Amino acid sequence: MSRVIVLFVDALGPSMLERFGERLSLAPHRRALRGVLGYSSGALATILTGAPPSRHGRMCLFSRRGADEPSLLSPLRALGLLPRLVHERARLRRWLAKAFAASHGLDGYFALHRVPPSSFAWLDVPEREDLFRAEAIGGAPTFLARARRAEVDVLAARWQLPEEARFEEVEARAANTAPRLAFLYATELDAVAHAEGSHGNRLAGAIDRVSRHLERVYASMARGGEPVETIVVGDHGMADVTRVVDPRPLVPRGGGLDLFVDSTMLRAWGAPGPRARLRLALERARLAGSGRERVALAARDAPVEGAPYGEAIFVLEEGAIFAPSHVGGRVAGMHGYDLGTRSSEAAIASSAPLPVALDRLENVAPFVLEALGAPAAPRASVAPGARA
C-alpha cells in the first residue's frame, strides 16, 4: 500500500501546468480535465466528493435562500446604514466577514466582497462547513472523510491559514507523523493570475514555492522507503481579461428581479417577464455570452433544484468580466466561463499513469481512493468468493 499526496492547486489549468515544466517531475503523467460550471466552491466540492454540482449542490459562493430557510445573512443588511464609500472598504468587509463567520459558526470559506447590503435579505451561503473536515458535501462524502472512516491516517492542510504558514504547518506535521494521505492546498497561483494575468512576473515565484512545498512533503513521506504516489490537481484554468462590462446600465428599470453579479455571470431570479427584459437588454448590449435557464443548466450538471444559483444565468464570453461586480472590480485574469472554454478546464498531474477514462473532475476522488487502496472506495458489489 502506498502513501498518497494530493496537492490541490487553485487555478491549475492545462496551460498553467505547462508552465511548471520540469518542476513537477514527481508527477509526469498529465492531462486536461473537464471542469464544472461556476467557481472554485463548485469545482473543489466536485474534486473532494467525485459528485457533479447537481448532486453536491455547490456552484458559487452565494446562493438564494430557500423560502422556508432561516435568514442567516440578513443582519448584514445593517451595513447599508453606513455610507457606501465606507461599507465597501475591503478592510472593513474582511474584518466583518471574519467576525460574522466566527459568531455564526461558519467554518467554510466566507467573504462579503462588494455585495449590496440589501441583497443579504435573500442571499445565503451554502458552504458553511470546513470542506476538508466535513463528512460530506450536500450528502456526498469526501475522499478525505472516506479515508478517515477507513482509518487511514489523514493530514489535511488548514486552508484558513495564510499560504506560507499553511505550508510550514503541513511540512512540520508530515515530517513528524508521515501520514498515509496528505492533502495539500495552494492558492497563491490563483491570486497572482487574477492580479497579473498569464504574463505576470510573479507567477514564476509562486510556481517555485508550491513545487518546493510538494518536494519537501514528499521527502518526509518517502523517508521510510514506502512508495509515495503524488497527485496534483487544479479546479479550473484562467483567461486573460480582454473586455470589461459595466453591468449597471444593463439592469432593466422597474425591478421585479433579484440579481447577483458575479465576475463572469449575471444571475437573476424573478418572473418570466422581467427575466425576458433582462435578456433583451443583454442582447442589445451585444454581449456574446450565453443565457442559461433550467434546461441548459441541467445539461451542464449544474444545481437546478430550487434554482439556488439563479432562474436565469447569463454567462459572459471568455475573457469578459463584469466590473464593478458584487464580488470585485477590474482584474487581469478571470475564470468562471462556460464549459467548453479553455479556461473552464482543470489539469491533473500524477506519478502513476492516468486511467483512460479519467477525463473530468468527478473522476479525481475515485482515483485518489484507488491509489490509497481504501476499502471505502465506491465499488460495484462483488459476488462472494470473487476477487474484489
Q: Compose the 247-276 pattern: x for residues touching Zn ion by CB under 5 A, - for all others.
A: ------------------------------
Closest by CA to 162, choosing from 193, 188, 200, 182, is 188
Nearer to Zn ion, 131 or 217 (CB): 131
Shortest distance (Å) from residue 344 CB to Zn ion = 13
Map residues 2-41 to x or -, x wherever contact with Zn ion holds by CB under 5 A.
----------------------------------------
> What is the grid cell recorded at 363?
473522476
Instruction: Establish if 190 lies at the interface with Zn ion (CB under 5 A).
Output: yes
Strand partners, 186: 9
238: nearest Cα among 141, 335, 160, 308: 335
Binding mask 132-171 for Zn ion (x = CB under 5 A): ----------------------------------------
Sign of CA dihedral 75, 80, 81, 85: positive
Report, in Å, the least distance between residue 122 CB and Zn ion.
25
| Closest approach of Zn ion to the CB of residue 318, in Å | 15
| Residue pair 49/131 in contact by the 8 Å Cβ criterion | no
Q: Which is nearer to Zn ion, 4 or 232 (CB)?
A: 232
**108 or 179: whose CB is closer to Zn ion?**
108
Residue closer to Zn ion by CB (options 200, 252) is 200
Span interacting with Zn ion, options 183-191, 243-251, 273-281, 339-347, rule CB under 5 A? 183-191
In the complex, which residue's CB is closest to Zn ion?
Answer: 190
Phi, psi of 324 (to 5 degrees): -75, 145
To the nearest whole angstrom, how small is the minimum distance from the Cβ of residue 331 to Zn ion?
9
Q: Which part of the chain contacts Zn ion (CB under 5 A), choosing from 92-100, 160-168, 187-195, 280-288? A: 187-195
Q: What is the DSSP letter of 34?
A: B
**Could you tell me which stretch among 14-22, 185-193, 204-212, 250-258 binds Zn ion (CB under 5 A)?**
185-193
Output the smallest distance, CB 186 to Zn ion, in A. 12
> Measured from the CB atom, is 88 or 190 closer to Zn ion?
190
State the number of binding residues for Zn ion (CB under 5 A).
1
The DSSP bridge pattern shows strands 290-292 and 312-315 to be antiparallel
Which residues are at the interface with Zn ion (CB under 5 A)? 190
